Amino acid sequence: MRSGRLSIGPRQVRFEEMVADRAGRRHGVAVSSGTAGLHLAMIALGVGPGDEVITTPFSFVASANCILYVGAKPVFVDIDPASGNMDPEKLEAAITEKTKAIVAVEAFGNPTHMDRYVQIAAKYEIPLVEDCCEGLGGVYRDRPIGSFGRVGVFGFYPNKQITTGEGGMIVTDDDRLAEMCRSLRNHGRAVARTPDEGSWLHHERLGYNFRLSEIAAAVGICQMERLDKMLTRRQEVACMYFDKLMGYPQVMLPNITDKMKMSWFVFVVRLTDPFTTKERDRIITGMRRHEIGCANYFPPIHLQPFYREKFNYQQGDFPACESVSQRTIALPFFNRMDATQVELVSLTLNVMIQREMLILDNQPAPADPPDELPDRSS
Ligand SMILES: Cc1ncc(COP(=O)(O)O)c(C=O)c1O
């Protein structure tokens, strides 16, 4: 605050270097949110009306909204239920002449298939945008998250691994794309290489005010300095949950493989098959009644009212995503969570599940099907 530089100053530059470094990239472009970063990535890649962009329905809505902002069409690809990320085979099958980009998300920070997406994008010469808003600090097959796409975007909303209150960061190795994003975030001004260069009132393109303030960048620098400590702590909390929940047969735990080092964003469990949305939602309500905040993370994007109305999506369009989504529960998860709190959440979850099992057991059995199906040919 005392520096006298509250916007466009050295803290933004330092914060950009720190995040870019962590993602193994040459450039970081700080922006006002993850959504703003994705929006600028779409513009910088030249995506526009008439184009299709492939993405996942199992994510936060901004992963698809950024495609609509530029007038293009989101094409959803169903997920592989084990990881929650797009099924690579289905992704490849969805590519058409109109496909202008792929927006791939690390769902809850899980980077599975990122290497396959890179291969597919290269094969069809389509840029891959890594929506890595949920994965800062994670590693997959020895590559840092944020290093897979032609461009990657991190988000620093308060629920993320690090926060700047609001904020985001575009990362890339592409000089031209970085320069374009720097201009776009700053009202389309030319990028000044020296303090005297570039005119404040000269606008080369239609730009936006998506800047990150120096105050937010200063917070970001301090957060980045603590990133490893916070990730270690989050890993410890995740391990405590694994320990406590491992013995509950109705709870499916996050699918972590030896190819990844998780950067824990949230801790999301999934109920096993007999459970549906109805039981899951009752469990969440029951947990909340015991002052344990839980959420139905994520409802599918294609079934959000706006998407249903605009594109006429129906239940059943992306069955794997829907089947996973209707049974997920995000449990309380934060750095300072201690063993007693984890135990309390786990025990309460088990009680709620047992209650649902009793209800399921006491439901009348469905009527036997008739021996012969009625003749419908007439
Ligand atoms: C996968 C994903 N993409 C995009 C965003 C949008 O980021 P922001 O809230 O900073 O705009 C988020 C989180 O909020 C996210 O989880």
pLDDT digits over 188-209, tens only?
998 876 666 667 888 999 999 9
Expressed in angstroms and rounded, the spacing between residue 247 Cα and the centre of ligand 1 is 33
pLDDT of residue 378: 38
Query: Which CATH code is given to the segment(s) 10-225?
Result: 3.40.640.10
Task: Locate the domains of the chain by residue range.
Answer: 10-225, 227-361
pLDDT at position 363 over 80:
no
% of the chain surpassing 90 pLDDT: 90
Instruction: Give residue ranges with CB within 6 A of ligand 1.
Output: 33-35, 59-60, 62-63, 105, 131, 133-134, 155, 157, 168
Band of pLDDT at residue 16, cut at 50, 70 and 90 = very high
Residue 308: which pLDDT band, with cuts at 50, 70 and 90? Answer: very high
Mean pLDDT of 25-51: 98
Contact of 151 with 171, CB cutoff 8 Å: yes
> Residue 339 above 60 pLDDT?
yes
Report the range of poorest mean pLDDT among 65-79, 82-96, 185-199. 185-199
- Residue 183 sits at the vertex; the CA angle it makes with 168 and 17, to the nearest 5 degrees, is 45
Q: Are 218 and 165 in contact (CB under 8 A)?
A: no
96-126, pLDDT tens digit by residue?
999 999 999 999 999 999 999 999 999 999 9
pLDDT at 366 > cutoff 70: no
The Å distance, Cα 301 to ligand 1 centre, comes to 13
Query: Which pLDDT score, from 0 to 100, does residue 362 have?
Result: 83
Calculate mean pLDDT across residues 229-240.
98
Q: pLDDT value at position 176?
A: 97
pLDDT of residue 199: 77
Q: Please give the CATH number for the structural domain made up of 227-361.
A: 3.90.1150.10
Decide if pLDDT at 337 tops 60: yes
> Cα(17) to centroid of ligand 1, in Å?
21
For a substitution probing ligand 1, which of 53, 110, 134 has the most ligand atoms within 8 Å of its CB?
134
Average pLDDT, the chain: 95
| Mean per-residue pLDDT, 31-57 | 98
More confident residue, 375 or 2: 2
